[in-house]
Amino acid sequence: MPAGRSGIDTRPHATSEWGLVACALLPPGAGDRHLGAQATALMTSHDSDRKRRGARASAERGASLFELLASVFVMAILLRTMGPQLPALTSVYSLRGATRRVAGDLQKARMAAMAENNRYVFTVVDAHTYSVLDDDNNNGVADAGETVTTVDVRSTSPGVTVSTSGTLTFVPDGTATQAATITVTGSAHSKTVMVSAAGRIRVQ
């Protein structure tokens, strides 16, 4: 045993064991009183722990409610600040989405013309609708059995319109019969999708 240390084990479980031994050595009746006192002390300690846990849980619930209220308050401020700007932001994103869709459909039509060895015709039907014709017999007209895909840009981009200078046709070598410009217009801005005679597609 190291010098300077008592021979009695002071660890918690050891203390309990010594308490039981001491109770066994007490005179009859004294041990019962001692055990009763120990039980009372344990129950008091348990009640105190339970109260502390309850107080901590209540504090945590209070903190969670406070955090929720603070988040709602911050969101209200942000909505009030950005509210007037939301329509403009929505218009910008709608315009971008519609422009990307037009450019993507043009690119797919060009690739399909090269892969299938027949013409694909892009036509603006009205202010918000365009069509892509898989022109199997290369006559520029939608005949029976030929696939025509019609797209309404309002379905995903409300308030956006499309226009073009004329019909755009891709031929099997990937070029276009003539250069064309498709204009996509939102509530405040517009973008153009330009197709060169070589078939190059560019968004401006």
109-147 per-position pLDDT tens digit: 999 999 999 999 999 999 999 999 999 999 999 999 999
Cα angle, residue 110 at apex, residues 107 and 114 outer, rounded to 5°? 140
pLDDT of residue 16: 47
Residue type, 8: I
CA distance 107 to 85: 33
How many CA atoms lie less than 13 Å away from 33 in the CB half-sphere?
Answer: 5
Over residues 6-33, mean pLDDT: 48
Which tokens is 135 given? 């022109």
Neighbouring CB atoms inside 10 A of 43's CB total 10
pLDDT-derived band at 55, boundaries 50, 70, 90: low
The one-letter amino acid at 91? S
CA dist 51 and 43 (Å) reads 12
Q: In terms of CATH architecture, what is 88-203? A: 3-Layer(bab) Sandwich (3.55)
- Read off the pLDDT of residues 141-188 as tens digits, 9 standing for 90 and up: 999 999 999 999 999 999 999 999 888 999 999 999 999 999 999 988
pLDDT beyond 50 at 22: no
Q: Starting from the edge strand earliest in sequence, which strands make up the sheet with 168-170, in order?
A: 148-152, 129-135, 119-126, 168-170
**Domain parsing of the chain, residue ranges:** 88-203
Residue 181 pairs in a beta bridge with 194
8 pLDDT more than 70: no
pLDDT in tens, 57-98: 555 555 687 788 888 878 877 767 765 655 666 788 899 999
pLDDT of residue 77: 78
